[in-house]
Amino acid sequence: MKNILLVILSTFCLGSFAQSEKLAGNYNLSIETENASFTYTLILQQDGTFTFHSYSNQKQAIPPESNTYGKGTWTSEKNIITFSANPNIDFNEKHTLDFNNSKARFISKSPRDKSDKVVKTRLQFYKSDIFWMERKELLKQ
């Protein structure tokens, strides 16, 4: 009985680690227009933490360049990543973005799909209190 329980727990732990390993990594989005450029970088660590950096350079803005940062923790259930930030730990002068209530969908090619169809691995934000994050798709590097 103990051996069966050990096998079940080991399988669960390995499955959880494999999921976070698949999701962890660097995700980026760059947008260039005639008057502005935006770069978003999200790093998901295997330990369940994340850091986010947004850089914008808008010729018409004052100041023209701005950097905003965020950090916190993430969890996943199926292909949904939920972000959270602890106000006592994750916010300071530099890290001001509040990712609480933010969710993103992990999109990748299914291992069962044997076609030549190319599906870029990415995160698509579908819910966020940061209004400009909704519907953003960050590609995995």
Residue 77 sits in which domain range? 2-140
Q: For residues 140 and 121, what is the distance between their CA atoms, to the nearest angstrom?
A: 6
- 89-141 pLDDT, tens digit per residue, is 999 999 999 999 999 999 998 888 888 888 899 999 999 999 999 999 999 99
CA 120 to chain centre: 15
Whole-structure pTM value: 0.81
Task: Identify whether the C-beta of residue 23 lies closer than 8 Å to the C-beta of residue 76.
Answer: yes
For residues 139 and 7, the model is more confident at: 139
Number of domains in the chain: 1
List Cβ neighbours of 123 (8 Å cut-off, separation of 6 or more). Answer: 27, 42, 81, 104, 105, 106, 107, 137, 138, 140
Question: What's the CATH number where 47 sits?
Answer: 2.40.128.300
Average pLDDT over residues 31-48: 97
SS3 assignment, position 40: strand
Terminus-to-terminus CA distance in the chain, angstroms? Answer: 44
SS3 assignment, position 15: helix
Question: How many Cα neighbours within 13 Å face the side chain of 66?
Answer: 12
Measured CA angle at 57 (ends 54, 58), to 5 deg:
125
